[in-house]
A = this chain, B = another copy of it.
Amino acid sequence: MTDQSPVDRRNLDFLLHEVQDAGVLCRYPRFAEHSRETFDAVLDAAQDLADATFAGHNRASDEHEPRFVDGGVQIIPQVKAALDAFAQAGFTAMLADAEEGGMQLPYTVGLACDAMFVASNVSTSGYTMLARGVANLLQAHGTPEQCARYRAPILQGRFLGTMCLSEPQAGSSLGDIRTRAEPADDGSYRLSGAKMWISGGEHELSENIIHLVLARLPDAPPGVKGISLFIVPKLRVNDDGSLGARNDVQLAGVNHKLGQRGIVNTFLKFGERGECFAELVGQPHQGLAQMFHMMNEARIGVGLGAIMLGTAGYRYSLRYARERKQGRHPDQKDPASPPVAIIEHADVRRMLLQQKSYTEGALGLAMHAATLVDVQAQDADPARRREAHLLLELLTPVIKAWSADWCLKANDLAIQVLGGYGYTREYPVEQYWRDNRLNPIHEGANGIQGLDLLGRKVMMDGGAALKLLLRDVAATASAAGGVPALTEHAIALSHCAATVARTTGVLGAAMARGEVRLALSNASRYLGMVGHLAIAWSWLRQALVAARAAPATAADADFYAGKLAACRWFFVHELPTTELDAQLLGALDATVLDTPPESL
């Protein structure tokens, strides 16, 4: 492997074309102008850009984090250069309509492009992901005037944006936010309050920053049903699109993070020193629903970030393990024999296999979810759109939380492969690990994802979403059952699916009879179990393709053999824990609930 890129393009192509068959998406009218060739050309461009402008300053933006100076934020110039290049190459608008100047790409291909940028520099990519999120939200819920004023400049790369949800006293608990919006005579609003953990909240990277802010109207009911969504520009935008006066959004502080240091994280105050102008988006009290409309993609984005940081670490440690020579086999007693490459040591190879199984398994699942986003949005058949929607609702918390947990573990293993070198800042793997530690926390901490999955997603519509997943899992198991190399895995997957179905039934029954706290008390473990099922399924899908492939080259043969090996690792070494999960969950284990807080 001479390839120094943090992304395995061969694997991206495999998932996109051989597993997801992304070319089929071109049958949808929206993508009719596209083809496999145009997809590949976009991916080539993304890869070139990621290598040329994103990867190079990944360490520098960690070492020289944004600084709070004279009320503003100083950021190393490479970040702006990369963002400008990104926008100029059209990637901010890659999903947007052609008539808006967009590439009108499927989300599936967009995710593959994002994968390259995120692997190269998760912090700088963060600005682009936030900007696109704001643009998407405005398209979905804003007026044409709001889109013209705020969305269009984002797509052109002139404006960036933020999502302002959390407050110092209310991180995951959005029902408790206190930021207030008072109607003004001109139909706009005046905001007052404070927002915490705002990525990209202040900088000079763009002409303007468009904050999307959750706040309460004076007549708002308490809790999540009283939250409205507002546009708050850093600088007012005049009717002709020119920039006006500075709005009252004050930078109150910069958070100093463990990782992802390149993207400034801020504490913002609204309306403290003057008037903070805001525009309502859509109807009052619909803010949370509007925000959650975007949440699946945002959470898949977090999962993707975790996966690609895991991938970058895997790729680096793999290269290191091939080159570094040290030690001998345990039965190789002659001290004068030459040392072997450390990849020859079983324990090192084990750590590489683990990393591969987590990151490539999860990437396969994330790519599948991306295709569901496209189907949900584009399919002519309402039943297929509905199915895609339900599956996405179910898979999103899994992709977010499982990927964050296990791809962080992958980064831990990458450090271990490098040993003492991995513990130094002279090598990149420690930064990947630090950067990845955010992913189990943001966009809803993983504990919240477990509650979302077990408390809502698998129970909604009489368990319709889980039934669909189990149907798809069964189809894969059935296909793999006929392939001798995969028969055992097919049986194991079917068995695990039945275990998940049975366990979910027990938990659902407990909730139905009112034992809600008990049933949900092990929700994180439940998410882990469903996640393992979903990743095993992802692996069996990949292994099916690999087992049937006719490799054209020796490199291809190695590639497919690696897929089969990592699949085997996951089925043999990882999936069996689901049995233990099911035993505990099915028994409604009350160890946690029975522990009095004061005894800790």
Docked-complex contact B416 and A441, CB < 8 angstroms: yes
Determine whether A31 belongs to the interface, using a CB cutoff of 8 Å to chain B.
no
Q: Cβ of B420 and Cβ of A442 under 8 Å apart?
A: yes
Kindly list chain B residues whose C-beta atoms are within 8 Å of the C-beta of A347: 447, 450-451, 521, 523-524
Contact B455 A222 (CB under 8 A): no
Residues of B within 8 A of A327 (CB): 172-173, 176
State whether the Cβ of A38 lies closer than 8 Å to any Cβ in chain B.
Answer: no
A329 — nearest CB in chain B belongs to which residue? B517
Contact status of A445 and B424, CB under 8 A, knowing A223-B336, A558-B596: no
A351 cross-chain contacts in B, Cβ below 8 A: 447
How far, in whole Å, are A593 and B569 apart by their CA atoms in the complex? 11
A224 at the A/B interface (Cβ < 8 Å)? yes
A76: interface (CB < 8 Å): no
Which chain B positions have C-beta within 8 A of A460?
A: none
**A345 and B173 contacting across the interface, CB-CB below 8 Å:** no
Q: Does A461 contact B (CB under 8 A)?
A: no
Does the CB pair A565–B222 fall under 8 Å? no
The yes or no answer to A573 lying at the interface (CB within 8 A) is: yes
Stretch at the interface among A126-134, A238-246, A253-261: A253-261
- Give the total of A residues in contact with B, Cβ under 8 Å: 104
CB of A592 within 8 A of chain B?
yes
Known contacts: A455-B330, A594-B565. The answer to whether A430 contacts B258 by CB under 8 A is yes
Other-chain contact of A591, B353, B412, B450 (Cβ < 8 Å): B353
- Do A595 and B416 have beta carbons less than 8 Å apart? no
Q: Which residues on B sit within 8 Å (CB–CB) of A415?
A: 258, 437, 441
**Pair A423/B257 contact, Cβ less than 8 Å:** yes
Measured between beta carbons, the chain B residues less than 8 angstroms from A72 are: none
Contact of A166 with B591 at beta-carbon distance under 8 Å, contacts A425-B257, A516-B330 already known: no
At the interface with chain B, which of A109-117, A304-312, A366-374, A575-583? A575-583
Q: Does A572 contact B (CB under 8 A)?
A: yes
Chain A, residues 171-182, CB within 8 Å of chain B (1/0): the string is 111011000000
Which residue on B lies nearest to A415, using beta carbons?
A: B437
Interface of A is mostly: helix
Tell whether, in the assembled complex, residue B350 and residue A524 are in contact, meaning their CB atoms are under 8 Å apart. Answer: yes
**What sequence of 0s and 1s flags, for each residue 147-181 of chain A, a beta carbon within 8 Å of any chain B beta carbon?**
00000000000000000001001111101100000
Per-position binary interface string of chain A over residues 483-522, scored 1 when its CB falls under 8 Å from any chain B CB and 0 otherwise = 0000000000000000000000000000000101100111
Taking a contact as CB atoms under 8 Å apart, the answer to whether A339 and B173 are in contact is: yes
Interface flag for A346 (CB, 8 Å) = yes
A600 and B352 form a contact (CB under 8 A): yes
B583 and A176 contact, CB distance less than 8 A:
no
A186 at the interface (CB under 8 A from B): no
What sequence of 0s and 1s flags, for each residue 249-278 of chain A, a beta carbon within 8 Å of any chain B beta carbon? 000000111110000000000000000000
A211 interfacial by beta-carbon distance below 8 Å: no
- Beyond A318-B600, A330-B516, A336-B222, whether A171 also contacts B420 by CB under 8 A is yes
A to B CB contacts below 8 Å, 23 in the list = A169-B325, A171-B420, A173-B326, A175-B335, A176-B335, A221-B335, A222-B335, A224-B335, A256-B424, A258-B433, A258-B434, A330-B451, A331-B514, A341-B597, A347-B521, A350-B521, A350-B592, A353-B595, A353-B600, A568-B594, A573-B591, A576-B580, A579-B580
13 new A-B contacts at CB < 8 Å, known A169-B326, A419-B445? A172-B419, A173-B339, A223-B335, A224-B335, A257-B424, A258-B415, A258-B433, A258-B434, A330-B455, A347-B450, A349-B592, A349-B595, A562-B595
